[in-house]
């Protein structure tokens, strides 16, 4: 006859089960969350505590802990409970306002860098906090690795309603409306995108045969075999061989089945497109005219 208390029965809804199964399949999910989800799913399927512990290579105590929480609270029981101790007297929003206060540009008739005493006085004058000690403010600024003398103007918006707008946006991220999807769109200045002219005609990727044909053409015209052409998606990378490696000089890009464009690679690695477009042979002529000197091997 078995001893001890019987294991807690775990019952979750279909929606909770699907959410936990999706969590387990995620490759980027935190491992502790995945482990807890696996415990609940195995317990819900009727497996014993010992069987779950053996399968997941964890202790029975851990299995009992998360099994019990999910039995009482469902999938919400897998979240971390609030830590014991006195809650923060200064909220996260107030801490961010204190950091912003320390980063404000210097006043015309004031010190270049305000002292802690100045910041304590200003924070209470502006109503950020009711009261704060000098040492507490120092700890908050230290936690943010703050260097007020390195402040840049882009950190501060001249818009008087900037704070209210930021709060609205942050609240939207933290508590999005049910059933909605929140997207963040930002400018990527380091990424260049070549606009497609015919969205209904997907460009075919180059093949090794295409690359070999262009490579043969270039070698015949340049008179040496140190130039290489490599297919890369809808691009043909034109490379020069040196003593150590291959250096990419230019590329041909297929816009559609008949139109091509070209770009050259700067010393910083950035692609700069050429304004011309044409057939593959026409753009190859442009590359030879513009970058012929870079496709000639150095004389040793």
pLDDT tens by residue, 201-236: 665 677 778 888 888 988 888 888 888 888 888 888
Please give the structure tokens belonging to residue 199.
């969205």
Residue 7: C-alpha distances to residues 36, 49, 67, 104 (Å): 16, 7, 8, 58
Domain-located, residue 22: yes
Can you list the alpha helix ranges (DSSP code H) found in 26-59?
A: 31-44, 49-56
Looking at per-residue pLDDT, the higher value among 100 and 186 belongs to 100
8, pLDDT greater than 80: no
The span from the CA of 214 to the CA of 230, in Å, is 10
The span from the CA of 234 to the CA of 250, in Å, is 14
- pLDDT score recorded for residue 149: 54
What value does the mean pLDDT of the chain take? 79
Domain-located, residue 200: no
Per residue in 132-164, pLDDT (tens digit) is 998 988 888 888 777 655 555 545 567 778 878
End residue of a domain, out of 130, 155, 180: 155
The CATH number of the domain holding residue 38 is 1.10.10
95, pLDDT greater than 80: yes
Average pLDDT over residues 153-177: 77
The span from the CA of 24 to the CA of 173, in Å, is 24
Q: How confident is the model at residue 37 (pLDDT cuts 50, 70, 90)?
A: confident
Q: Which of 73-82, 121-130, 243-252 has the lowest mean pLDDT?
A: 73-82
Domain-located, residue 195: no
Domain-located, residue 167: no
Average pLDDT over residues 106-129: 78
Q: Which of 110-114, 126-130, 278-282 has the lowest mean pLDDT?
A: 110-114
Domain-located, residue 220: yes
DSSP code for 233: T
- pLDDT score recorded for residue 13: 81
The span from the CA of 196 to the CA of 234, in Å, is 12
The domain tally of the chain equals 3
Does 19 lie in the same domain as 67?
yes
Average pLDDT over residues 274-282: 85
- pLDDT score recorded for residue 1: 42
- pLDDT score recorded for residue 3: 57
Q: Which of 84-93, 120-129, 191-200 has the lowest mean pLDDT?
A: 191-200
Domain-located, residue 74: yes
* Range picked from 3-7, 11-15, 102-106, 233-237 for highest mean pLDDT: 233-237
Cα three-residue angle 197-274-239, rounded to 5 degrees: 110
Asked if 209 and 188 touch (Cβ cutoff 8 Å), the reply is: no
Number of Cβ within 10 Å of residue 10's Cβ equals: 23
- pLDDT score recorded for residue 58: 87
Range of the domain at 32: 14-78
Asked if 129 and 86 touch (Cβ cutoff 8 Å), the reply is: no
Q: How confident is the model at residue 16 (pLDDT cuts 50, 70, 90)?
A: confident
Give Dmax over CA atoms of the chain in angstroms: 90
Q: How confident is the model at residue 69 (pLDDT cuts 50, 70, 90)?
A: confident
Please give the structure tokens belonging to residue 122.
């200003």
Backbone angles phi, psi at 240, to 5 degrees: -110, 140
Matching residue, tokens 């034109």: 238
Average pLDDT over residues 110-116: 69
End residue of a domain, out of 55, 78, 101: 78
- pLDDT score recorded for residue 191: 56
Domain-located, residue 244: yes
Does 106 lie in the same domain as 140?
yes
Average pLDDT over residues 77-95: 77
For 270, counting Cβ atoms within 10 Å of its Cβ (0-12 exposed, 13-18 middle, 19+ buried), the class is exposed
Does 108 lie in the same domain as 67?
no
């Amino acid at each position: 006859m078995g001893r001890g208390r019987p294991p807690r029965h775990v019952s979750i809804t279909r929606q909770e089960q699907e959410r936990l199964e999706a969590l387990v399949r995620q490759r980027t999910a935190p491992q502790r969350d995945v482990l807890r989800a696996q415990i609940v799913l195995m317990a819900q399927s009727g497996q014993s505590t010992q069987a779950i512990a053996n399968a997941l290579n964890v202790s029975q105590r851990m299995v009992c802990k998360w099994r019990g929480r999910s039995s009482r609270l469902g999938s919400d029981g897998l979240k971390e409970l609030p830590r014991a101790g006195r809650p923060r007297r200064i909220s996260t929003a107030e801490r961010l306002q204190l950091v912003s206060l320390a980063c404000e540009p210097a006043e015309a008739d004031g010190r270049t860098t305000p002292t802690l005493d100045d910041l304590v006085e200003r924070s209470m004058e502006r109503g950020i906090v009711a009261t704060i000690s000098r040492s507490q403010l120092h700890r908050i600024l230290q936690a943010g690795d703050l260097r007020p003398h390195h402040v840049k103007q882009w950190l501060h918006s001249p818009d008087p309603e900037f704070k209210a707008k930021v709060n609205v946006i942050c609240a939207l991220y933290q508590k999005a409306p049910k059933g909605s999807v929140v997207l963040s769109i930002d400018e990527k200045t380091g990424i260049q995108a070549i606009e497609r002219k015919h969205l209904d005609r997907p460009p075919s990727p180059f093949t090794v045969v295409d690359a070999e044909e262009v490579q043969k053409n270039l070698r015949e015209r340049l008179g040496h075999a140190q130039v290489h052409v490599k297919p890369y998606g809808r691009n043909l990378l034109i490379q020069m061989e040196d003593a150590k490696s291959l250096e990419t000089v230019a590329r041909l890009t297929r816009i559609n089945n008949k139109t091509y464009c070209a770009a050259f690679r700067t010393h910083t690695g950035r692609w700069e497109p050429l304004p011309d477009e044409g057939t593959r042979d026409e753009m190859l002529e442009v590359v030879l005219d513009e970058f012929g000197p870079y496709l000639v091997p150095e004389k040793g």
